[in-house]
Amino acid sequence: MSVKSNNCSCCTQDDTQKYDEIANIIDLYKDKEGSLIQILHHAQEIYGHLPLDLQRFIAGSLNKPLSEVSGVITFYSFFSTKPRGKHTIRVCMGTACYVRGGKKLVERLQDILEVQLGETTKDGKFTFEIARCIGACGLAPAIMIDDVVYKQVNVNKLESILSKY
């Protein structure tokens, strides 16, 4: 069910291979009720993000309106329509983390990374986000980089933490 051709001027051969992989995933899941989120997860793993052209491809392949696919993508924070960094930094902004300095961590990271929330650094190394709670309230403030939680973080520890990446 390949839609992208190798002669396409809008995408690379690598893109074509990724679309073919995504088409295979769609074929596996398309007859299963409620499979859109699974398909989107796999598509994002393969492609890296979910740009509008890919959303159209998925919607068309599933005979769903583009608005339904886009609605799911924009509702859930774990989907991204823009390229993401190699690592994702999330600053916890739950009550305990906020009260104990979470906002200062956000401000300092914006200075260090030279990005705003939701953006990716120019070198593609980090995507910077906030999280509502990461479950480390007793040792707040906390940040996560990918799946690693750093507890009792202060602005003076940030550069040392980032240097590991």
Binding positions for [2Fe-2S] cluster are 92, 97, 133, 137
Q: Which of 89, 88, 50, 53 is nearest to 72 (CA)?
A: 50
Which residues make up each annotated binding site? 92, 97, 133, 137
Q: DSSP secondary structure string, 12-25?
A: -HHHHHHHHHHHHH
Residue 35: phi and psi, rounded to 5, are -90, 0
Q: How far apart are CA 137 and CA 151, in angstroms?
A: 9
Residues contacting residue 87 through CB under 8 Å, at least 6 positions apart? 125, 126, 127, 145, 146, 165
Amino acid code (one letter) for 33: E
Q: Is residue 104 a contact partner of residue 153, using CB atoms and an 8 Å limit? A: no
